[in-house]
Amino acid sequence: MTRKPNVILISTDQQRGDCIGAEGRGVRTPNLDRIGRAGVRFSRCITPHPMCQAARASILTGKLPYSHGVRDNGRDLDEALAAAGLGGTFGKAGYATHFIGKAHLSSQQTFAPTGRPECYKSAGDFAPDWRGSYMGFDDVQLMLRPHHHTQWYAPPEALHYEYWLDLHGGGQARWDRAKDRLTPDTAHFQAWRSALEAPWHSSPWIGDRAIEMIENKDDRPLMA
């Protein structure tokens, strides 16, 4: 019997395709370059939508925005449609399915609770040890807040990363450092040299959770 391969899909947010060292633009991305050399690079790949929530929904479902309904940020992906997508399909094939990091498949700031974990007004309905399922993935470890100039919401308006930061990193005091700009200033609203110490940023947190996932996997093939 052919052994099923493990599948790990790594996605970044707000990163232009040419912001990779392999594209020759002088950006230092040695690890991404190494992955590219060892695999296949799709240099003609074009996103189906310029907004992140719609693009993620297309990756998850394999459908264009006019089919899955997420035509812009602020439109929630239908959970049944998501469950029939990437995570659910791999799950039915015998894979252990995981989602780690920023999902942003549901609206975060709403006027009323939506019943979804990514909604600030509903996050408190999910216990700190809640791990899914969500959008077709059996095990999830999510973050609710982007590293923009956003205010701190104390738990229970939090998900896994925020609970971790509150418990181990000082919560709001640490979060506020993320918004402090170091010199020289970039003069861009969502791109600045943050005073947040690297170990407390969401990126290494995601990496550490992914390592734990791989080290603790069972006999099933892995999809994350």
Residue 134, classed as helix, strand or coil, is: strand
Distance CA 187, CA 208 (A): 31
On whether both 174 and 103 belong to a single domain, the answer is yes
pLDDT band at 171 (very low <50, low <70, confident <90, very high): confident
On whether both 66 and 88 belong to a single domain, the answer is no
pLDDT of residue 146: 64
Q: Which of 63, 68, 132, 69 is nearest to 103 (CA)?
A: 132
Does residue 16 fall inside a structural domain?
no
On whether both 71 and 151 belong to a single domain, the answer is no
On whether both 58 and 117 belong to a single domain, the answer is no
Does residue 98 fall inside a structural domain?
yes
Domain region containing 66: 47-77
On whether both 62 and 160 belong to a single domain, the answer is no
Which of 68, 104, 147, 160 is flagged as catalytic? 104
Tens digits of residue pLDDT in 155-165: 888 999 999 99
Best-predicted range by mean pLDDT (2-6, 70-74, 193-197): 70-74
Tens digits of residue pLDDT in 173-213: 888 888 888 888 877 777 788 888 999 999 999 999 999 99
Tens digits of residue pLDDT in 87-103: 999 999 999 999 999 99
Query: Does 52 participate in catalysis according to the annotation?
Result: yes
Work out the percent of the chain whose per-residue pLDDT is above 70.
Answer: 98
Q: Which of 97, 166, 155 is nearest to 126 (CA)?
A: 155
On whether both 85 and 73 belong to a single domain, the answer is no
Does residue 36 fall inside a structural domain?
no
Domain boundary among 33, 58, 77: 77
On whether both 181 and 194 belong to a single domain, the answer is yes
Of residues 57 and 190, more confidence is placed in 57
On whether both 173 and 142 belong to a single domain, the answer is yes
